[in-house]
Copies of this chain bind each other. A is one copy, B any other.
């Protein structure tokens, strides 16, 4: 089902609105936390509800291996399996083509299982079918995401294969018994940091036609300016009345920079991974709680964010938990970083709605850039 984007306000290219799916809707800009194997590390579905998460990601490659698509399907889909009342999106396995470097041929990608070493082939067709079983509200088409920098030839090839696989994945999805009535399928634009290849990939993705559009293959080794130029090159080519999703971005400067360029959705493991390593997002920038200067600091993590779920505990106590590897520490910092990022995105929403986006962007860059 085509995902409609209903605009609320536009300030420059930055926009707020609502994405409407067959199964529910969510407000944008929207940061989606990552629950690769069906849970955001250290958190339960109830925690995510309390944090105000709208859409949670899960990963096709991991779930097809453990616990297997059949079990998730029989549980009523990934949201029901995890007892998550909000919306879900499954990545296609395309990210693992970047991170696990599988053997690729025209048909698909052959992976070794990270769990038991067994071989598994993922094709555009099987990825769409497995994602229909996983039952997320949004599924992604299987694409080819090369690490950057890469030779022009590699990028061209990835654009060609992404276009061909996109067609096949779309066809499989549209021919599926019931997936199109309950899921939206997003296409993915590749092209590295070549503006002409980005534009070509966008045109070919649009030609196939999807329910929403993602920009993939960035945040994978290129410089920040190249990344943003690549977003600029294609963002306005994508339909104004459908959602635009930048895959794999979660730092404040990155978020505000792609929102500036008309992006609505993004996901990243960054805020949760940082938390597990003691790095905390605060209204005065990043702090690392492991720093000795926090040993006797009885202030909350971020006095500028009094709503933080971590504010029940002092910096000193949280530092101690992290220093002694107590999982309670990682949990509390994970709650904080996600709450902080959701609040940050909410502040961007407000700024756009009040036509003060540029002001807020400058404040953000002052602290974070």
Give residues in A with beta carbon < 8 Å to B. Answer: 37-46, 62, 66-67, 71, 74-75, 81-83, 295-296, 298, 312-314, 316-317, 319-321, 323-324, 326-332
Contact = CB atoms under 8 A, between A and B. Distances in A.
A73 to B, nearest CB: 11
A332 to B, nearest CB: 6
Contacts of A38: 317, 320-321, 326
Nearest to A38: B320
A233 to B, nearest CB: 38
Given A295-B71, A320-B67, A327 B330 contact: yes
Contact of A83 (B317, B330, B331): B317
B296 A74 contact: yes
A39 B326 contact: yes
B317 A42 contact: no
B314 A75 contact: yes
30 contacts: A37-B324, A37-B326, A38-B320, A38-B326, A39-B326, A39-B328, A40-B328, A41-B326, A41-B327, A43-B328, A44-B313, A44-B328, A44-B332, A45-B312, A45-B313, A62-B324, A66-B320, A66-B323, A67-B295, A67-B323, A71-B295, A75-B298, A75-B314, A75-B316, A75-B317, A81-B316, A82-B317, A83-B317, A327-B327, A331-B331
A206 to B, nearest CB: 37
Nearest to A71: B296
Contact of A313 (B43, B83, B324): B83
A66 B327 contact: no
A82 B313 contact: yes
A295 B296 CA distance: 46
Number of this chain's copies in the complex: 2
A81 B326 CA distance: 15
A116 to B, nearest CB: 12
Contacts of A42: 327-328, 331
Contacts of A82: 313, 317
Nearest to A325: B37
In the complex, which of the residues A43, A321, A326 has the most CB atoms of chain B within 10 Å of its own CB atom?
A326
A260 B367 CA distance: 63
Contacts of A41: 326-328
A103 to B, nearest CB: 24
B81 A317 contact: yes
A331 B323 contact: no
A312 B46 CA distance: 9
Nearest to A332: B44
A129 to B, nearest CB: 20
A71 B295 CA distance: 8
In the complex, which of the residues A45, A71, A328 has the most CB atoms of chain B within 10 Å of its own CB atom?
A328
B37 A316 contact: no
A260 to B, nearest CB: 35
In the complex, which of the residues A66, A74, A298, A317 has the most CB atoms of chain B within 10 Å of its own CB atom?
A317
A332 B45 CA distance: 11
B37 A312 contact: no
Q: Sorted from nearest, which 9 A-B pairs have the closest CB atoms?
A: A39-B328, A67-B320, A37-B324, A42-B327, A39-B326, A83-B312, A66-B324, A83-B313, A81-B317
Contacts of A317: 38, 75, 81-83
In the complex, which of the residues A75, A83, A327 has the most CB atoms of chain B within 10 Å of its own CB atom?
A327
A316 B71 contact: yes
A361 to B, nearest CB: 35
A337 to B, nearest CB: 15
